[in-house]
Every structure is written in C-alpha cells, then in structure tokens.
Structure 1
Amino acid sequence: MEVQRKRSFNTTNTAHDFRQEYKGSVLESKFRSAKKPERNAFRSLADWILAKASYLRSAKPKPFPTSMNVFNSTPSDFEKLPNELVCQIFGECDATTLLSCRRVCRRFSDVVDYIDPAAPVVLSRLVLTGQPKKGLEMRWVTYEGQRTKAVTVTASEIRNGASFGFNFERFVVQRIIIKDIVLTDDFVDFLRHQLQYSDLSQLVQLSLNNVDFSAANSLTLHRLLAGLAKHLELFEVTGGFGMRADSVTDAHLGQLDATRVRRISIDGVRFGSRCKALRVGDASLRLFAASRSFPTLILDRCAVTTRSVCDYTQEWFEQRAETEKQLRSQVCTVKRCPGVKGSAFAAECQRRGLQCRDRRASGTLTLYNIHEGDADFKREFTVALAAVASQDDESPAKPQPVEAAPVLAA
C-alpha cells in the first residue's frame, strides 16, 4: 500500500503553486527589504563629530550657584528663596528627610550635595574605654542630637600612631572620659596626636576612671595634662589601681588653672606597693588659697596635714568675707590621709576660734562643720574626714580589672 502525504488544502488541483501568486502581490511589496541609500564616508564622519560635540555640550557639569536665578516668567515664591537659606533649612533636617528632598528636583539635589567643610561637631563626651582582646573603643557622644558613634582601635594601631585627623579636625570637645585602660606612654602619645586636630576651647572635664597606673610614671600624667590642664574645670582620678606615690603629685595639680578649676577628685586610690600616700600635700592647698580659688576637693590617701586643712578652711572664711559674692557653703573631703586626724583637727579649729561641730556620717566619714554668722546669713565649711585604713587594708591591692583592660605597651 502506498503512503500518501496529507493534503493541506481541499482542492482537486494538486499542482497549484502558491509562490506564483506571491510574486508581484501586495505582500511582496510590503515586506520587500528597502535598499538603503548610499552615503558618503565623509558625510558619516561629519555627522558623528557633530553628534559627539552636542552630547559633550549637554553633559558639561554646571557650577553650584550661589544665588537663585529664575528664568521662568512666573516664578513661585519658594523658587525666589536663595540657596543660602535653603541650605540653612536643610541643615535642620535629619538624614532621611534630606534623602527625600534630594529626589524632589535638581536644585534640591545640588543643595543637599553641597557640604560646608567648616561645620563643627560639638562632642559632649569623648569616651575612651579599654576592651579585652580588642584594644580601645573611642565613642563620641553629642547631647544635642542624642547621637553616638564608636570606633575600635587595635593595640598595634595605638603603638604605630594611627591618625584619625579626618574625624577630630571637626570636633569641639567638651569632656574627655578615660576608663578601664592601662595608662602608658603609647596611649598618651596616641591621644595627644588626635586631640591636636580638635578645638579644646570648650573643654571642661577630664576623668580617669578605673585606670591602671602600673605602667605609668609621673611624666606620663604630666604629658597628658600638658595640653588639657589650662582648660579644665573638673579633674577626676577615681578607682585608680597600681598607683605609686608619684602617680599624682602637687606638680600635676599645679598644671591646672587655679582660677578656673571648680572640682578636684582623687578617690578610691589603690597602691601597687607598700605606699602610704600620694605626693599631693600642703602645696596644692596653699596654691588654691593664694589664688583665691577654693574648688570642691576630694583627697584620698594624700599627704595633706591637719594644719594645712585648717589654714585652707580659715582662708575660705576670710576670702568670702571680703568679696561681695557670698558663697554659703563649701565641702572638702579628706579620706585616709595619714597626716590628718579628726581629734587633732577639732582641737586646731577650737584653738583658732572656729566654731566646729562634728557628727557621724555614712560609713567611716565624720563631718566637721565649721560655721560663722547668724541664723539669717550663715556660712559653713564642711570637712569630711575618714580614718586611715588598718594595717591589713593597706596591703597592696590586687589589680583585678587588669584582665578587662588592654595592655597597650609594646
């Protein structure tokens, strides 16, 4: 049986050729490929050069305008605002709002992209915290915008003197807080290098909290205070351990501006060896009294004596009586100082004719209130004394926080 191909069309004429009908038809003329006209090579090159020049002319960057130039026939009131005022308005917006404004129009985009390089950043606190196995965390905090940012610096970067001038050159530092760290010359050099870029005219506070002084000497703290002391109003050394007699001395307090400082706190002192007191003694009290400046003092394990504390108290009363600005009260806390005894202090006050009344306070503190004046106007100087620790308590303290503080020395 012969197999025949299925016919696609119902026709009895099997020899019909559709190609004959396509030739010369409308379909052939519609889909015939049109011949491109012949072009001269020089004409093509000239057209390309003109098109390239037109593109470069349109893509040329325009300089940032300094004022608003309106070419519309009927400009709106908002378009009449100068760019300086628009920059000031955008300066009060947060980052999310600025990104939205940038998409409004080309003018807003240019204003947002324009950055004033002289805009300072006021740091309410510059906190330097030691971190185990990481190095140092630098955190800057601004109270105004409630913003904070932290950067971790490794110990090798501190030893090699890494520079963060691109950050610190815009900072106006108000407070510096150093905590949980080993105080070394490398750390002091690193901090001084960063602060040389910053504005320190508004600096008021330097605090060293839980700092290990075992790797530092007297010159280490002296170099740290060299560029900061003249601005300080508050100087605090709290919870320091591994300290020696020359860790904090009269020479260090002498670097401070006596007419500017308002509070000095040396508290929680823990020695790394058999040492009785820091070399902070009568010279510092005489310096403040001579400059007619009586800051609030907290002196722990210092070398002040009973006579110098009484002189300081008496000078305060005499100076307050001479000035028109009357300060009602002042406090001086003397803790665990071998040269100051409570009974001897009360007897010395009575010998000088000062009205002294003592009372027990919390813990081991005894408050001695020296007052003068009547009930209407009464001035009072309070001296808080704490007895010297027992022989067992004077043993060298174990530096427990050393494990949490990075060793930055080479």
Structure 2
Amino acid sequence: MACINDCSASTSSTATSSMSRNLATLPAEVLLNIFDQLDSNTLCGLRKTNRRFNSIVDYSPELKPKFEPRTSDRFVVTIDPATKLYKFHSVTYRNTGEKALTFTAQDMLDKHDFSFVFRQLKVRRIIFEHMHNGTLTDLLINFLLDHVELSPEFNPIAVTFRECDMLNLSSDAMLRLLRLSGKNLVQFTMNNVANVRSDTFTNEHAAQFDLKKMNSLTITCISMAAEHKYLSLTDELFVQLHQANSFPVLQLHSCGLTTVGLSLFFDSWVKTHNTESFSNLVCTFKDCPGIVQNELSRICHDWPLEFSTFVEREEFLSVSHAMNTFTVNFAGEHTSVENTCPASSTSDDDADSKKEEQNEIKKSEELATTQ
C-alpha cells in the first residue's frame, strides 16, 4: 500500500528501528518534546514502527506544522477490476507528482485509518471513474468523506463521475458529498454513467451549489435504471439560477425541466445582458420531454425586445442580444444515446487529458475569482 504523502522518504530503517527501541519506554510528554526536534521524514519513519508513535505523530497538534499541506490537483477514485482493489490516485500538476493508495472493501468495513494522509492533503478536483458492476457504493463515498473532513482545505472546484455504475450509490450519499463540496464547486459532471435513478441527482442536490460560482453543470450520456425515466431535476433549478442571477453552461439529459422554466432562465439572461459586454452561452437539453423547441421559439418571437439576430434550425435555436448570444441546442432530441455519447476513454487518453484538465482548472479558478 502506497501513501499519498512522501512517507517513504524517511531515514534508513535501521536507524529508525534503533531510535524507536531507545524511545519506547519514555513518557508521551517527553516523546513529544523529542519528536518536535525531528524533521518530517524522520517522523514519517517513526510513525510506522509502532502504534504508540503512530498515535503521537498523527494526533499531536504540536507536530502538525512539521508537515506542509500537499495539493492534489486531480484526486481520482477508481477500482482495479482484476484485483478488486480500490484506489485513491492523486496527481499534482506543478511537479508532475503522482501518489496512490490502495485498499480493499474489507478495509472500509474495518474503518481502516488513513487520516495521516488526508490531514495534509488539499483536494482541488475529485473524479470517480471506471467503477462498474456496483462498485461505486455508499460505503466508499462515506469512507472517503470521513477522511476528507480531516483535510486542512477541502474546497474542490470540480466533482466528476464518469464511466460509473450508479446503482449502489444512494441519493443520501450523493447529498453528503455535495454538502461538503458544493459551496466551492464551479463544475459538476456526470458523464457516461449507468443505472441512474430519479433521485440520483435532484433539486435538493443542486441546491447545495453556490450557483453564483458555477460555470458548468453537465449530466450527459446517462442510462436510467429500470422503472426510472427521468431525474427529479425540475424547473426549481431554473428558479434557483434566476434568484442567483447565474448563467452556467447547462448540458442536461433526461431531466424533468420544461419550456416554462427555460423561458424564466432566458428572461433573466436577457435582462442581465442588456449591455455592450460580450458573452456566449450554450445550453444543451436531451431527452427532456418538457422542453419543446416550438414553444421556446414562440416565446422568443413574442418577446418585447427586438433581437439583433434570431436563428432557428432543426435541433437548435440561437438569439443575439446586443453583443451577447444565447444558444439552446436540442441535438439528439430525435437521436439515440448510442449515437450521441462518446466511446469510453482509455488509460492512454488520460495521459493526453492531464494538460487540458490543468488548463480547465486554471480557467475555473479565474472564473470563480471574477464572480
């Protein structure tokens, strides 16, 4: 099992073992004073020698400044289908560093303690990926969140689920995740996920976001579980966006949204962008039966304002107002999921996407700052 922190970079095992034998009989207060004189690498070695040292190093506030927080730009949660081992995989772009920690389902049941890792970790982006056959569970989510609550700064800017089976992930577990992370998110994505239930993502989940910070809400290429047709994501989302005066890019699939709600969103956009500033907002809705292109077109034609451009084609509608453009894409309204969803990505694609994701994070941080 590999530690995300550089705990392996300690002094030699011989020196550490010798030191631990000499210190073992000393009172805790004396040990703490001695440990306070040591560097972080030596402390990492000592904490692995016995439970007593482990407890002192992990839980003594006096020693916390010894360990500088590490930033995880890309914190991936996945599973090896061959070994059935879960993995927390951390990538830091600045120094191209990568760390991994593997564990079993039994480790989670036994509540194995990895708190030493997370006490020093700042997570910027969480990605759940390649988790099939019900391996994405409440147990995993709660195990992760129990640890990240110890993080000195758990303010991720993005949460992503891709190529996951959502069957064993409850609405409550998703809600807990978003309660802890939602107020700082600028992006939330569910892409190419299966066995989605109507309560997997709802109005209550969306309410956990600070919508003024959000620039992207994406739920695409999803397949619903048996007896579930649509997500319980309704026009309440548009009401929340209207109240926040927020206009993120929306890409939504199989939701209970309607043209009436979308027109409220459109009305807010027009009133906010009645200026010479420049903006371009594109929203895509697929398999949302309540959103009808002809109805939205009629609303636009009846609008009291005269738009500088009004373009309507099959499967999309675009309106320009001053220097601002609002486009609604109905692509896929008459096509199948198989024809519109991208193929599953491979491990080779991950290497090529790291630079793109780094740039995406930078842009998201800049947007969050300006908003």
Superposed CA deviations along residues 206-227 of structure 1, whole A, max 9, x for unmatched, are 1111221212332121122121
Distance (whole Å) between structure 2 residues aligned to residue 173 and residue 199 of structure 1: 9
- Equivalent of 2:80, from 128, 131, 149? 131
Q: TM-score, normalised by structure 1?
A: 0.62
Distance (whole Å) between structure 1 residues aligned to residue 332 and residue 128 of structure 2: 29
Superposed CA deviations along residues 215-246 of structure 1, whole A, max 9, x for unmatched, are 23321211221211112111111112111111
The offset of 1:168, in angstroms, is 1.1
Partner of residue 268, structure 2? 315
- Equivalent of 2:311, from 333, 357, 361? 357
Partner of residue 214, structure 2? 261
Letter in 2 for 1:339: G
Q: Which one is further off, 195-204 or 276-285?
A: 195-204
Contact 1:285 1:309 in 2 (8 A): yes
Superposed CA deviations along residues 33-52 of structure 1, whole A, max 9, x for unmatched, are xxxxxxxxxxxxxxxxxxxx
The offset of 1:249, in angstroms, is 0.5
Contact 1:163 1:193 in 2 (8 A): no
Contact 1:201 1:231 in 2 (8 A): no
Q: Which 5+ residue runs of structure 2 have no aligned equivalent?
A: 1-33, 40-63, 339-343, 346-371
- Equivalent of 2:126, from 167, 172, 176? 176
Q: TM-score, normalised by structure 2?
A: 0.68
Q: 1:201 to 1:153 in 2, by over 3 A?
A: closer
Distance (whole Å) between structure 2 residues aligned to residue 297 and residue 269 of structure 1: 15
Partner of residue 317, structure 2? 368
Contact 1:200 1:231 in 2 (8 A): no
Specify the SS of the correspondent of 2:139: helix
The offset of 1:205, in angstroms, is 0.7
Count of matched residue pairs: 277
1:338 counterpart = 2:289: yes
Greater RCO (CA < 8 Å, at least 6 residues apart): 1
Letter in 2 for 1:336: D
Distance (whole Å) between structure 2 residues aligned to residue 288 and residue 235 of structure 1: 15
The offset of 1:160, in angstroms, is 2.2
Distance (whole Å) between structure 2 residues aligned to residue 389 and residue 274 of structure 1: 22
Distance (whole Å) between structure 2 residues aligned to residue 135 and residue 144 of structure 1: 28
Contact 2:155 2:181 in 1 (8 A): no
- Equivalent of 2:327, from 360, 382, 385? 382
Contact 2:148 2:154 in 1 (8 A): no
Contact 1:276 1:338 in 2 (8 A): no
1:144 counterpart = 2:144: no
Alignment of 1:49-64 (within 5 A): none
Superposed CA deviations along residues 344-392 of structure 1, whole A, max 9, x for unmatched, are 22122212246431235xxxxx22111122xxxx2111111135467x9
Contact 1:266 1:299 in 2 (8 A): yes
Distance (whole Å) between structure 2 residues aligned to residue 153 and residue 336 of structure 1: 39
Contact 1:174 1:200 in 2 (8 A): no
The offset of 1:144, in angstroms, is 0.6
Which structure dedicates a bigger proportion of its chain to helix? 2
Superposed CA deviations along residues 319-341 of structure 1, whole A, max 9, x for unmatched, are 1237x9x3421111111111112
- Structure with higher Rg: it is 1
- Equivalent of 2:228, from 262, 275, 298? 275
Alignment of 1:292-311 (within 5 A): 292-311=245-264
Partner of residue 39, structure 1? none
Q: Which one is further off, 266-275 or 141-150?
A: 266-275
Distance (whole Å) between structure 2 residues aligned to residue 387 and residue 178 of structure 1: 26
Contact 2:273 2:321 in 1 (8 A): no
Q: 1:346 to 1:388 in 2, by over 3 A?
A: same
Alignment of 1:34-183 (within 5 A): 117-132=66-81, 133-181=83-131, 182-183=135-136
Q: 1:393 to 1:146 in 2, by over 3 A?
A: closer
Q: Which 5+ residue runs of structure 1 have no aligned equivalent?
A: 1-62, 67-86, 88-114, 361-365, 395-399, 402-410
Distance (whole Å) between structure 2 residues aligned to residue 223 and residue 116 of structure 1: 30
Which structure dedicates a bigger proportion of its chain to strand? 2
Partner of residue 112, structure 1? none
Contact 1:161 1:189 in 2 (8 A): no
Contact 2:255 2:288 in 1 (8 A): yes
